[in-house]
Amino acid sequence: MSVKVVVTGGAGFIGAHLTRALLAAGTEVVVIDDLSTGAVSNLAGLPVELVIGSVTDRSLVEEACTGAGSIVHLAARPSVERSLLDPMATHTVNATGTLTVLGVAQRAETHVIVASSSSVYGGAGPLPRAEDAPTLPRSPYAASKLAAEGYALAYQAGFGLPVLAVRLFNVFGPYQSVGHAYAAVVPTFIDAALAGRPLTVHGDGRQTRDFTYVTGVAGMLCDAAIRRVSHPRPINIAFGTRTDLLTVIGELERIVGRRLSVHHGAPRTGDVRDSQADAATMRTLFPDATGLDLAAALEATVAWYADRTGAAPSTTGAGAVPSAPAAERP
């Protein structure tokens, strides 16, 4: 008999990859998604049960999670910018929604993985940031994620609920949405590059991130759900890399084979300047986890978006534009 895993937010970007990984591992998958940022098309052709609704709806969550061995809670209201415009809406989904899922899991004695964010660190502490580094949220989004992981660990300590709180860093790859005001930086850059539009950089472009290709993240979440991995503290899910945005632009120039126009705007309120994970705990829990290097990951992602949009990026190699000039931009 196969294990049943519920993925909240499973029609979203990371959820779509996780769902595929779980199916490949032979599990039964139920997806809960209100489709506010996810899309039914992300699950097209997959043998999953899709329950359309919010994680704040306890009765809906209870029914969907009946008989589940694990819940992977990815559903969230994303974006620092959105949280600054409507903090209460962000809190309701990210904190109250998580508390709803934990309440259902506690009653059913179901293992839970709660997705938090590297944004909880803010600008506090040296790099790379280990899980015991200070947390200093710079936005309501970051605060809501810190509250979510705090509730998860409180349920583990108070009720004995097996929980894994994971701090995700800048995850990117196929299925990540574009074309809206709150899109993440990598798909936004790729979309502009393929369409021939200027790339907008908020600030000088030397801010750094621990970019993580989505398949590695999905693989670890799948493994954790099946093995019911728990830990008494939050854990970073990233491979400890640090890349600035100008370097990303340089790689995209190499991939598409031409210079890209870049517009520098004002830094965004709530953004963290630098981010990098200490991956030691992750490697202890998931010793076989591997990531794709940035160049190969960007190539795969650009190819997916190009196929989706009908664009035709150049292949890397002869005639490709070297990435160095991008790093020289102001």
User: How does pLDDT run across 106-157, given as a tens digit for each residue?
Assistant: 999 999 999 999 999 998 789 999 999 999 999 999 999 999 999 999 999 9
| pLDDT attached to residue 325 | 34
**Which of 67, 66, 75 lies closest to 10 in space, CA to CA?**
75
Taken in order of first residue, the domains within the chain and their CATH numbers are: 4-170+212-237 (3.40.50.720), 185-209+242-275+292-327 (3.90.25.10)
| pLDDT attached to residue 178 | 86
Residues 30-40: tens digit of each pLDDT? 999 999 999 99
| pLDDT attached to residue 324 | 33
| pLDDT attached to residue 312 | 63
Residue 151 annotated as catalytic: no
Confidence band, pLDDT 50/70/90 cuts, at residue 313: low
DSSP symbol at 316? S
| pLDDT attached to residue 318 | 31
Residues 41-98: tens digit of each pLDDT? 999 999 999 999 999 999 999 999 999 999 999 999 998 999 999 999 999 999 999 9
Whole-angstrom distance, CA of residue 185 vs CA of residue 177: 11
- Predicted model pTM: 0.92
Statement: residue 1 has pLDDT above 80: no
Q: Are 30 and 73 in contact (CB under 8 A)?
A: no
Residues 177-208: tens digit of each pLDDT? 887 666 789 999 999 999 999 999 999 999 99
Catalytic, out of 141, 155, 175, 305? 141
What are residue 164's phi and psi, to 5 degrees?
Answer: -130, 115
Picking from 82-96, 221-235, 240-254, 314-328, which range would have the lowest pLDDT averaged per residue? 314-328
Q: Are 270 and 120 in contact (CB under 8 A)?
A: no
